[in-house]
Structure 1
Amino acid sequence: MGEPETRDKATIALLAGPDVTASTLFGMYDIFGSAGRDWELLMHGRPGESLLEPVIVSRDGRGFRTANGAWIAPDMALAECPAPLAACVPDLMIAPGASLASYAAEMAWLRDCQAAGALMAAACTGALLFAEAGLLDDQDATTHWAYCDALAQRFPRVRVHAHRSLVVSGEGQRLVMAGGGTTWQDLALFLVARLVGVDEAMHLARLNLIDWHREGQQPYATLSSSRQIEDACIARCQLWVAEHYDTHSPVAGMVAVSGLTERSFKRRFKAATGMTPMDYVHTLRLEEAKQVLESSDAPIDEVAEEVGYADPSFFRRLFGRRVGLTPSQYRRRFRSMRLRLQ
């Protein structure tokens, strides 16, 4: 990762807009403020000097209530913020494809920060604001797995990596994005490692029991897309296959339900869903397999047969390619999680 970056004032600005998620905003604030301070308290009984200065900034600096009801009291307005060492956008509670036109002032501030050489970081759906501001054109990027398709469709110049939990790109590697959920922790540790040093990042990981998301987002993603309803004929077929995906010839069954010729059906299905009929069947089968692996101890071969695969070896290969873990690895990770929650 190289030597830590240094500037006159180690300010990390956390952008707070009306759609910000408070847990990510304050979680990142705590991690950055902890750098240099809390490990010394733990080891020697006295706090050390904070090495980073996190500040919460907003358009006008006034307090506001977020979409999920939390109260945010920013430290300052955008115009009052000194040139930050890094500018961070926490995740936003917005729908995929939602307009961000109301964030014009925030986007202008982000462009100014980038032009001044700041390290630009976005957690989860915060990457959508980067894209809207034009920061991701012709760059690698990631965001929450459920928003990757919307990001790629709306901003075709952005190279979206849906499976990765952390992406570093841009000139000087100054664009850093984390995927969904708690990958903001990976992002915060990465920034501390880059700005302060790897040892301090390791201290914070130990102090906060943070485990890096080594497998990326892929194992957590829901494979099947939401049911589209604009084409009534295809929607009817999707309803049918949701109940019959484990049959021997589900695509032939959908063709029969559609009343179309096989060629017309396949063309129309792909146009409506963006997937071939067989790919759609695979997503349904694998999503069901994930549920079975989480909730039962059935042998892998039985799981394969239950969801419609007569060849267990084909099921294992397909599962590994689509999910990013083998069926056994997936079960070890998520079966134990489900049991603890139960």
Structure 2
Amino acid sequence: MLDQDSPINVALLAVPEVTASALFGMFDLFSSPGRDWPFIVKGEAGQQRMRPYVVARSHSGFRAANGIWVKPDFAFGDCPPPQIVCIPDFFINPGDSVAGLYEPEARWLRRTHEDGALLASACSGAVLLGEAGLLINCEATIHWGYVTTLSNNYPGVRVRLDRSLVLSGEAQRIVMAGGGSSWQDLALYLIARFVGLKEAMEVAKVYMLQWHDLGQQPFASLMSLRQTVDAVINSCQKWLALNYKTRAPVAAMVALSGLSERSFIRRFTKATGMTPLAYAHALRIEEAKQMLETTDLTIEAIANETGYEDASFFSRLFHRETGLTAAHYRLRFGSLRQALKHT
């Protein structure tokens, strides 16, 4: 990980056949770490941790495969040195050879890799890694429709369709993601690897992404935990954020507020849109989710750490609030953390 004062350069390689959704989607995701999470939860953008830019063989703009105009930020000759190079998927006929069509891109990829950059591809973007000669005797992954494009044209490549993410090469500086929307998984993995797991989780929540196939419900409670403008209630929110394990949090906040219980509940509900007890549960569930994402604590231990002596009650509450069991939530979000363990 680099210092926050030194944004990580991420070059997004564009060719005229590029899929614009992947190109600009990755641009958005790589722009997010450090910036968007504080804006969502506090209303003020933070410092951007990554610096994405579009690079191509020349400065000339072109129409992407779906007709969207692409204007590169840099050409190969004046591109800032990247720590990461991402190759979005692009349209080629499955099985066809592209030998010689992308020689400038292949040369630039070889040079940046020799200079220490990590190269990452999404879907058919792996073909350009093959053109650069970087997949010799390596494992790889690609969209299932393009397996023959790799296996027929780049000897020694071992395509792994059973894995959504494949790491290859010296120091695992070649990363490939499979088909479909795999560029989202790829971006989250690279954010976690270069910036941090916490920031990757924040980006996933901001954009309501998941490592595989979750819906929106696991993220829903985040918006309800924003600080209010009511000074009395705000002070109670801040107290609860530090003392959510307290056995009787509502009674403690009533005492802190100096209001009657009835007045406090009415004022808290008006300010936050939630009853004090529901708010306390939502805060505890958010803390539990963080622990499930980032630790190996047992579910019973997490229940206790978040203020629930009855683990079965915690499990029922977690399922009700997120639509997932705690074990399922860990399985889905923990897979990103597990992938990093093998880096």
Using structure 2 for the length normalisation, give the TM-score.
Answer: 0.60
Counterpart pick for 1:61 among 59, 62, 65: 59
Structure 1 partner of 2:210: 211
Alpha-carbon distance in 2 for matches of 1:200, 1:86: 17
Counterpart pick for 1:21 among 6, 19, 22: 19
Quote the offset at 1:5 in angstroms.
5.6
Structure 2 partner of 1:34: 32
1:173 aligns with 2:172: yes
Q: How does 1:243-282 map to 2 (within 5 A)?
A: none
Alpha-carbon distance in 2 for matches of 1:135, 1:52: 25
* Structure 1: tracts of 5 or more residues without a match: 215-342
CA deviations over 1:2-23 (Å, ceiling 9, x no partner): xx36696521000010110000
Q: Which runs of 4+ in 1 moved over 3 A?
A: 5-9
Structure 2 partner of 1:110: 109
Q: Secondary structure, in 3 states, of the residue corresponding to 2:181?
A: helix
| Contact 1:14 1:57 survives alignment (8 Å) | yes
Alpha-carbon distance in 2 for matches of 1:97, 1:132: 14
CA deviations over 1:185-215 (Å, ceiling 9, x no partner): 000000000110000000011111112138x
Alpha-carbon distance in 2 for matches of 1:167, 1:6: 27
Structure 1 partner of 2:157: 158
| Contact 1:9 1:85 survives alignment (8 Å) | no
| Contact 1:13 1:86 survives alignment (8 Å) | yes
Alpha-carbon distance in 2 for matches of 1:212, 1:147: 22
Q: How does 1:186-265 map to 2 (within 5 A)?
A: 186-213=185-212
Structure 1 partner of 2:49: 51
Q: How does 1:127-146 map to 2 (within 5 A)?
A: 127-146=126-145
| Contact 1:9 1:84 survives alignment (8 Å) | no
Alpha-carbon distance in 2 for matches of 1:93, 1:202: 31
| Contact 1:145 1:163 survives alignment (8 Å) | no
Q: How does 1:316-327 map to 2 (within 5 A)?
A: none
Alpha-carbon distance in 2 for matches of 1:160, 1:58: 27
CA deviations over 1:86-141 (Å, ceiling 9, x no partner): 01100011111333222110110000010001011001000011011101111111
Alpha-carbon distance in 2 for matches of 1:6, 1:108: 30
Alpha-carbon distance in 2 for matches of 1:144, 1:40: 35
Structure 2 partner of 1:126: 125
| Contact 2:140 2:159 survives alignment (8 Å) | yes
Task: Tell me the number of residue pairs that the alignment of Structure 1 and Structure 2 aligns.
Answer: 212
Alpha-carbon distance in 2 for matches of 1:97, 1:5: 40
Alpha-carbon distance in 1 for matches of 2:57, 2:34: 30
Quote the offset at 1:157 in angstroms.
1.0
Alpha-carbon distance in 2 for matches of 1:192, 1:6: 14
Alpha-carbon distance in 1 for matches of 2:41, 2:198: 14
Counterpart pick for 1:97 among 95, 98, 121: 95
Alpha-carbon distance in 2 for matches of 1:47, 1:84: 24
Alpha-carbon distance in 2 for matches of 1:83, 1:6: 17
Alpha-carbon distance in 2 for matches of 1:6, 1:176: 23
Structure 2 partner of 1:291: none
| Contact 1:183 1:213 survives alignment (8 Å) | no
Letter in 1 for 2:61: G
Alpha-carbon distance in 1 for matches of 2:51, 2:71: 16
Using structure 1 for the length normalisation, give the TM-score.
Answer: 0.60
Q: Residues 183 and 25 from structure 1, CA distance in 2 versus in 1: closer, same or farther, beyond 3 angstroms?
A: same
Structure 2 partner of 1:230: none
| Contact 1:13 1:87 survives alignment (8 Å) | yes
Alpha-carbon distance in 1 for matches of 2:7, 2:206: 25
